[in-house]
A and B are shown apart, each in its own frame.
Chain A
Amino acid sequence: MATLEHSVPRTAGGLLEWFTSVDHKKIGILYLSSALVFFVLSGILALVMRSELAQPGLQLVDRQTYAQLFTMHGTGMMFFFGTPMVIGLANYFVPLHIGAPDVAFPRLNAFAFWLTLAGAVMAFAGFLTATGAAAFGWTAYAPLSGDAYSPGTGADLWIIGVALSGVAGVLAAVNLLATIFGMRAPGMSMLRMSIFNWNIVVTSILIAFSFPALTVALALLWADRNLGSSFFEPAGGGDPVLYQHLFWFFGHPEVYILILPFFGIVTEIIPVFSRKPVFGYKGFVFATLLIGAYSFSVWAHHMFTTGAVDGPFFSATSMLIAVPTGIKFFNWIGTMWGGKIHFQTPMLFCAGFLFMFLMGGITGVFLASPPLDYFVHDTYYVVAHLHYVLFGGSVFAMFAGLYYWIPKMSGRMLSEGLGKLHFVLLLVGMNAAFFPMHQLGIDGMQRRIPDYPASFGYAQENLVSTAGAFLIALAVLVFFINLFVSLRRGPFAGDDPWGGYTLEWATTSPPPHHNFHRLPPIRSARPVFDERRENAQAGPEGGSP
């Protein structure tokens, strides 16, 4: 092996440095930036959709364009914003949390990122083709996604693009697992890891085992379209329901891939801002593992209305998943109980998360009951539910994490004032945008329609919802202003601006190339807290809260 003088590798410098870096922190930032770009792009698609739906009649876009909009909105948010955001945060903070200098396979890590980006660019490149982007919904149900009903290269670009980023996801997940299992610092036993890391362990397992099912579904779909096979074509003996099984065997774990890491972030932030340890560490670990296990046995609750699945079984497993989620809720409350809660921006977003995710979780139980699912499936009720979970849940927790961690990544604090403005706008906007959708679904407005007759009486709720969507856009704009201003002029963060517990706060902001010059002794899940307390007891001058 190489000699030690290479311990700080030369860097290429400039823009080239970002292309060639194999440093997990740089790659993490690349993931986060690319995820935020696709968050904005997919968000703009949603704004166009909401503008179209604001009143009855087709005003802005034609039907074909609208189908492309909702397809790419879902695809972008799920595959090119959500998953990369998860992997990016894990990339940056998993090695820091376990006291490692980097991930297990740094070059593979870089490859996974560039492959994700390649896939995202390819799928979105569909907009540049003559026939436009894919227009069959992000679920790409066969046979609608077959060549007979969706001709055009946009669909093929979508298939290959999503498949590339899916493969990249598996590579990243394997890398994270190897890092967590193989590179923990001395003293960092599995049960002293941060809850965030535990959530990443389970998330990575979900990615590693569910994404291959998606790759298979896409490969078969590609073969149906391009090679004339008929895996999903009833005319050739294929079965459209097979596609749905494959897709949702990936698709439901994907939902947990998009929420578990954010549970982890919330579980990191609430204790720090309550000045208390996590309430029920082992309970959190147990609940996370249980959610991971259940998530592989609930996929067919997306398919109750096909009449081709065993309703009672999938209903039971889907409802049972509420139990570990409930444990988490009560443990979050237990963590805050008796603490001294400081409501800085990260904690505010956690508070928003708790209420919004509670709402989304509860409507999820309705959907787990087949008779109720027959009623509201494929209506705006489902759209409302999934946005409460993924927007009210994941995105709120993501912003909590960004406000919490950007000082570590950049060395500068974000503005508290703008942060609070962002929070209020986002909370109001999100409820205005998504709450009326429950009622629209109950009133029978189905998903994925560009237009509705005025006589159906959907206009009022849709107008409110559109106004909410623009409020969300305003909130996100405030966030980016905050980001750009604070990265240049924000006050310096120092090593540990929040009084953190986990190892990332034991190093500089931003951390050096090797992450740590020294590690505190690790004797609990809160090594930085322990050391701070010892210092405070040793001499009063070293004390900090």
Chain B
Amino acid sequence: MALLVMVGASACVPQAPSVQGRAVNQLYGIFAVIASIIFVVTAALIALSMLRYRAKPSDDALPAQFEGNVKLELIWFAIPTVIVVVLFILTLQKLDVVTERAPDPESIIEVDAYQWGWSFTYRGEGVNISGGPHNDPELVVPIDRAVAFEISAEDVQHSFYLPRLLIKRDAIPGRTNRVDVEIDEPGRYIGKCAEFCGLLHAEMNFVVRAVPPLEYRAWLNERKQDDGNA
């Protein structure tokens, strides 16, 4: 059951359509495999000791009263330490991938979260998209190009969350967090607010539409004209 559970869990994380997301996918997979092994071994030991040493009826004699074994304890001090160190090194490697900043992102999008909605400003392009509940803003990004999100908030704390891309970063008033994403599959990806921010927290969604670079440029120019005429 245990193995099924953990492997199932790892299989249930859909492959992310982005470079950074796939690093998380890989890390999650490794963690899930190691965790499954630990879970199965430990649970099996617990179950084995319980089944093997359950008391038989009318057997009142005391079992051997041993109080420990320092060698064994040192071993099971060492094993988890080694596992944890391995997991930590893997974490550090993937952390670099996930937090790396592209030197020259295709676009920098300023994300401003507020109660309750999002405002996305394409820096240097004069394009702004914003909206709230029942009017989810839809921003467009190019595929195969790094896009930087600079995330902040106006009032209370929110969190910029793209479930399918496996990323999230808090939007905190007075601070700016930057996340770089390189999506490589066209599609519409739903974004949400992950930090409780008041009444309409659940409805604070947005959409990221990833399109080929040429289409992106065309869209950007069109929006620029629209905004200019407006």
Q: Which residues of A contact B49 (CB under 8 A)?
A: 333, 336-337, 341
Contact indicator B174/A239 (Cβ below 8 Å): yes
Q: Which residues of B contact A456 (CB under 8 A)?
A: 190
Check: A377 CB closer than 8 A to any chain B CB.
yes
Contact indicator A144/B156 (Cβ below 8 Å): yes
Nearest Cβ on chain A to B156's Cβ, whole angstroms: 4
Check: A523 CB closer than 8 A to any chain B CB.
no
State which of B94, B157, B170, B198 has its C-beta within 8 Å of the C-beta of A371. Answer: B94
Nearest Cβ on chain B to A492's Cβ, whole angstroms: 22
Known: A311-B95, A378-B195. A372 touches B76 (CB 8 A): no
Known: A143-B157, A306-B172, A371-B91. A340 touches B50 (CB 8 A): no
Contact indicator A366/B31 (Cβ below 8 Å): yes
> In the complex, A371→B56 CA distance in Å?
49
Known: A333-B49, A338-B64. A234 touches B174 (CB 8 A): yes
Binds A, one of B66-74, B118-126, B139-147: B66-74
Q: Which residues of B contact A377 (CB under 8 A)?
A: 159, 168, 194
Contact indicator B81/A143 (Cβ below 8 Å): no
Contact indicator A323/B55 (Cβ below 8 Å): no
Contact indicator B174/A240 (Cβ below 8 Å): yes
Q: Which residues of B contact A241 (CB under 8 A)?
A: 172, 175
| B114-136 interface with A by 8 A CB criterion | 115
Q: Which residues of B contact A448 (CB under 8 A)?
A: 196, 201
Query: What 1/0 flags go to B170-202 for Cβ under 8 Å of A?
Result: 101111010000000000001011111111111
Q: Which residues of A contact B39 (CB under 8 A)?
A: 358-359, 362
Closest to A136 in B: B196
Q: Which residues of A contact B46 (CB under 8 A)?
A: 332-333, 336, 351, 354-355, 358
State which of B43, B73, B88 has its C-beta within 8 Å of the C-beta of A283. Answer: B73
Check: A464 CB closer than 8 A to any chain B CB.
no
Binds A, one of B20-28, B103-111, B219-227: B20-28
Check: A293 CB closer than 8 A to any chain B CB.
no
Contact indicator B73/A371 (Cβ below 8 Å): no
| A176-203 interface with B by 8 A CB criterion | none
> In the complex, A264→B28 CA distance in Å?
32
Q: Which residues of A contact B84 (CB under 8 A)?
A: 319-320, 322-323, 365
> In the complex, A433→B36 CA distance in Å?
21
Contact indicator B175/A374 (Cβ below 8 Å): no
> In the complex, A396→B113 CA distance in Å?
41
| B3-27 interface with A by 8 A CB criterion | 5, 9, 12-13, 23-24, 27
Besides A149-B156, A279-B67, A330-B76, 4 other CB < 8 A contacts?
Answer: A144-B156, A281-B67, A341-B55, A375-B168
Between A and B, 11 residue pairs with Cβ closer than 8 Å are A141-B196, A275-B55, A275-B63, A312-B95, A327-B73, A330-B73, A330-B76, A333-B46, A337-B49, A375-B168, A378-B159
B residues touching A (Cβ–Cβ < 8 Å)? 5, 9, 12-13, 23-24, 27-28, 31, 35, 38-39, 42-43, 45-46, 49-50, 53-56, 59-60, 62-69, 72-73, 76-77, 79-81, 84, 87-88, 91-92, 94-95, 97-99, 115, 155-157, 159, 161, 163-164, 166-170, 172-175, 177, 190, 192-202
A residues touching B (Cβ–Cβ < 8 Å)? 63-64, 67, 136-137, 141, 143-144, 148-149, 234-235, 239-241, 274-283, 305-308, 311-312, 315-316, 319-320, 322-323, 326-327, 329-334, 336-343, 351, 354-355, 358-359, 362-363, 365-366, 369-372, 374-375, 377-379, 435, 438-439, 442-444, 446-452, 456, 545
